[in-house]
Structure 1
Amino acid sequence: MKKSIIIIIAGSTLFTGCEQISKSVKDTFKPVPKDSISTYVKKEETFPESPFDPAVERQIEEAQHMVNTILEKHTKTHVQTHQEGKSTDFLSNEEKLIKAEEALKKLLQYMGKEIFIYSSVYFYNDGNIRLMLQHPQNPEYIDNYRYENGKWSDPSPEQLSVKDNIKTRLIPLRKLPFVNIAKAAEIYNEKTARVEGAKPVTNISISVWNNMIRWYPSSINGSRERYSIELNENGTLKKFERE
């Protein structure tokens, strides 16, 4: 039986706008045991792979491309408020990125507990970060956090649907050391410098799909050319080619 993709694009608020779009493509291609929906599956645990279906694979690629395009267009509007603020070169400052990560680890509610990032993270060059974390006590809850002026905010609840597959949208914080943002920023800026009319990166975001990291932006636009760019999970360059 062929499987299908359901894409839902909903109205959004400032922070959750991109997130609502990223929730549009649900992981309907691999069955997930009901009792594992709200818990993070460790690396050593595996589930049987679904048989390879070229048609389904094409659907996945087309849907992901649509999400990438919408996410990037939506993010441009979202980022305007941060571009207007004072730039601190936060994206390339390893010391400040490490400080932000250490401050996150020291939040009282996560003391002695492993932190899991949910769905997406947004880093801005003015020193701001937006992310969502799995609740430290109830794995079915997700909270929003903001990093501004060198401090993390109190958590605010994220409304989820019973259809949201939390398990597949989680990664442990240790899998995304914030210093990797500086690696990614260096690559983005080095590539934009080669493309006429392209602007230096002012924000970097990470989306989590099937417990894997995907970096954005995924393209560099110049006045005459457009390039696709893909990074490895650790923020190093994987692919850069003209479209």
Structure 2
Amino acid sequence: MKLQKIIGIAVAMSCMSCHEIVESVNDTFHGAPRENNKRRSENVTSTTTSETTTITYTSRQPDEDKGFLSNAARLSAAENALRRLPAFAGKDIYLYEGVHFYDDGRINMKVQNPDNPAYVDAYSFNKGSWQEPQPVQLSVHDDIGSRLVKLDDLHFSSVATLCRNFSMKADSILGAAPLSHVYAILRKNTYTWYPQSISGSRERYFISFTKEGEVEDFYRQ
């Protein structure tokens, strides 16, 4: 009986030794125990997850142009950049028919060609710079002269004043949407600012502005 116990203990010790030998071989060829490998795998997963989160975050680009209508400095900078274009060096700039301003930083307008007064070009301001002008097709019936306004008489910064005054009125009207588009219509060598209405969920108001963007008239319709 004692002999059987001795043989059993010897077999168990032999198995333990074999297991340790296998572990030693793994360590030699793989460089780390299994437990360390498990921890290393967990670290890699954590790092990969962190890197993925970082990439997702940094790939989101903020809308830097938002709030353009209320920013007098940026509006003035756009006007000054237009004046500095080589095509207008030493020349007066005449806007034609209409000028459109958008809260995302865009401006679209038509300008009389500085070299040929019978031509009109379309100008677009986007992402902080003026794009190459595009020719505008005109009819022989278009009265170009009556739809011109000198840039000196229409200051882009007036849009910020208009936007502020519009917003002050709209804030008191339930359901009124924020302003995202301001434009000037040019007729008879003068211009009128739009929009001329504020619509709420239960009320609608007429509003008009001076050339400088101040409120000229305001009443419920």
* TM-score (normalizing by structure 1): 0.64
Secondary structure in 2 matching 1:184 = helix
1:200 shift after superposition:
1.2
- 1:217 has 2:195 as partner: yes
Number of the residue aligned with 1:159: 137
1:210 shift after superposition:
0.8
Q: How does 1:165-184 map to 2 (within 5 A)?
A: 165-184=143-162
Given candidates 104, 113, 124, the residue that maps to 2:82 is: 104
Number of the residue aligned with 1:237: 215
The amino acid across from 2:147 in the alignment is R
Number of the residue aligned with 2:127: 149
- Post-superposition Cα deviations, 1:160-197, rounded to whole Å, max 9, x if no partner, equal 11111111101000111111010000011111111110
Secondary structure in 2 matching 1:238 = strand
1:233 shift after superposition:
1.6
C-alpha distance in 1 between matches for 2:122 and 2:158: 22
Structure 2 gaps of 5+ residues are 1-61
The amino acid across from 2:185 in the alignment is S
The amino acid across from 1:192 in the alignment is A
Aligned residues: 159
- 1:119 has 2:119 as partner: no
- 1:129 has 2:93 as partner: no
Secondary structure in 1 matching 2:82 = helix
The amino acid across from 1:140 in the alignment is A
- Post-superposition Cα deviations, 1:102-159, rounded to whole Å, max 9, x if no partner, equal 1000010000000000000010011100011000011010000100111001110111
Given candidates 179, 188, 203, the residue that maps to 2:181 is: 203
C-alpha distance in 2 between matches for 1:210 and 1:232: 16
The amino acid across from 2:135 in the alignment is P
C-alpha distance in 2 between matches for 1:190 and 1:231: 13
Identity of aligned residues (%): 40
Secondary structure in 2 matching 1:188 = helix
C-alpha distance in 1 between matches for 2:171 and 2:147: 33
- Residues 212, 233 of structure 1: 8 Å contact kept: no
- Residues 124, 203 of structure 1: 8 Å contact kept: yes
Number of the residue aligned with 2:69: 91
